[in-house]
Amino acid sequence: MNQINQRRPQANWYRDAFDGMARRAKGVLLSVTCSIVMIAGVSAQERSEKQFSKYVDSKGNISLPEEFETTFVHLGSIAVAPKTGADVTELHATYTRAEDVKAFQKDGHFADGAILVKEVRSAKGEDLPTGHTRFAADVKIWFVMVKDGTGRFKDNDLWGDGWGWALFNANDRTKQVATDYRTDCRTCHVPAKGNDWIYTQCYPSLKKIDAKSKADVSTSETSPTKDLVARFPQWKEAIHLKGDLAKGRKYFESKTINTSLTCASCHSFDVRDTMSLDGDGLVRSGFPIFAAAHRTDIKHSGTGLVALGANVCVVHFMKGEPPGMTPQELADMNQFLQSGGNAKHATAKNVDYAHLKWTIPETLSGGDAKKGGALVMQTCISCHSVDGKNARVLDAAGKIGGGSFAAADLKKLALRIRNPEYKNNDEMPGYSDIRLSNQALLDILAWLTTK
């Protein structure tokens, strides 16, 4: 069978995760992989804790939904082999409610209260006219998770990391046997931590975010971005999470998604920042943001939600799947950005993104190559190696040198440096007129085309 999941870790993690529990269960071997139940739909503000879900009682005890096999939608199945080339030994089928799939498709996240059930069965084989087949046999275990967007049941060891977790043996659907989610459940989800602990790539239907929602969250820096909370609904969960400043800083400085860009590629976060010069002496394409937390019109939104401003960049420039950062990443980023300067700092000023321009001069000659060389050492060297000198921030944009381009390349170079309407570069955001004047652009062009 060719279409099998041959990732060795997924075949073994559940055994490691539940090894200790197997001993506590008097020798009952629990064969478990990533199986999930998530319960979603409404917020804690709309329901009391007792009404949170019919599958969760007031103490946080989780039950396995009855007849989920016939009343839920089959979301997808994963075939697991113990090693490459071996026969499939287990089939993991995941089920969810139709309304929970639709909710996920709209914003790319499981809401507070959604439901998925993964059932782990052994597999057996038979040679049929279609070939050598492997199909589901006896149930081995059901594994359950409940999405928790508000931090309920803090004293319950089966709740944490934004979820409630539970486990049921095949011989008793009514008895939950996990005791601590950290050791009994979470282990096999670690590789998916950055994706809210869920292997969504295994469930194609979850990726079908409708075109309207995608357009809403993929807003650019120049288009109005009113109501960022509506575009990024995970913020409602993020505000209830404790942010980690160190993790937020690490994300800002080194996180890449689907391009080589990091936040620090385009923005400085330095106490010496001004609106015209980055604290380290560079002039990146984006404005310095050391005190951006005190701006009141982030990304032309009319709000001061600086972390959501960062999320605009994650979706638009770093090409992250909408709606961008996870709730925890947003909380971490917010904690980091709030640690900058006060309201009197030079970079606390709003940026009028709606009126930024990326002008291409009619005449591209007449620049001063010597001045251009000095400007390149402030601008281009952020991401390019320049005449043998390493890039200062992110060495991921290739080498450039004085006179390394022909005069015939002037228009192409100007378009790439300005990148109006974001159509002339795969990654580089482009320098607006405010960050790089037309004369400075001409000087840089002269340096690039003069040997």
Does a cis peptide bond (omega within 30 degrees of 0) precede residue 323? yes
Match 């909710």 to its residue by tokens: 103
Q: Poorest-confidence range of 177-181, 302-306, 346-350?
A: 302-306
* Mean pLDDT in residue range 354-368: 89
Q: Pairing between strand 131-147 and 116-128? A: antiparallel
* Domain 216-355 CATH class label: mainly alpha
How many C-beta atoms lie closer than 10 Å to residue 337's C-beta?
24
Nearest to 396 by CA among 242, 210, 264: 264
Provide the CATH number for the domain formed by 8-207 in this structure: 3.50.70.20
CA gap 200, 160 in Å, rounded: 19
Quick one: tokens of 297?
């019109």
Decide whether 8-207 matches 216-355 in CATH topology.
no
Burial class (CB in 10 A: 0-12, 13-18, 19+), 129: exposed
Q: If DSSP codes are grouped into helix, strand and coil, which group holds residue 353?
A: helix
**pLDDT for the residue 208:** 56
Q: If DSSP codes are grouped into helix, strand and coil, which group holds residue 441?
A: helix
Cα dihedral 286/289/293/298 (nearest 10)? -10
**pLDDT for the residue 225:** 53
* Mean pLDDT in residue range 126-148: 89
Looking at per-residue confidence, does 37 or 362 come out higher? 362
* Biggest CA-to-CA distance, the chain: 84
CA gap 2, 64 in Å, rounded: 32
CA gap 420, 429 in Å, rounded: 9
**Domain residue ranges of the chain, discontinuous segments joined by +:** 8-207, 216-355, 369-449
The single-letter code of the amino acid at 289 is I
pLDDT band, residue 5 (cuts 50/70/90):
very low
Q: pLDDT tens for residues 198-209?
A: 888 888 888 754
Match 């009994």 to its residue by tokens: 184
CA gap 336, 333 in Å, rounded: 5
Q: pLDDT tens for residues 226-275?
A: 578 888 999 989 999 999 999 999 999 999 998 889 999 999 999 999 99
DSSP bridge partners of 169 = 141
pTM: 0.54
Average pLDDT, the chain: 83
**Are 144 and 165 contacting, i.e. CB atoms less than 8 angstroms apart?**
yes
The single-letter code of the amino acid at 381 is I
**pLDDT for the residue 326:** 95
* Mean pLDDT in residue range 333-347: 95
Q: If DSSP codes are grouped into helix, strand and coil, which group holds residue 68?
A: helix
> Above 90 in pLDDT, residue 438?
yes
Q: pLDDT tens for residues 81-95?
A: 988 888 899 999 999
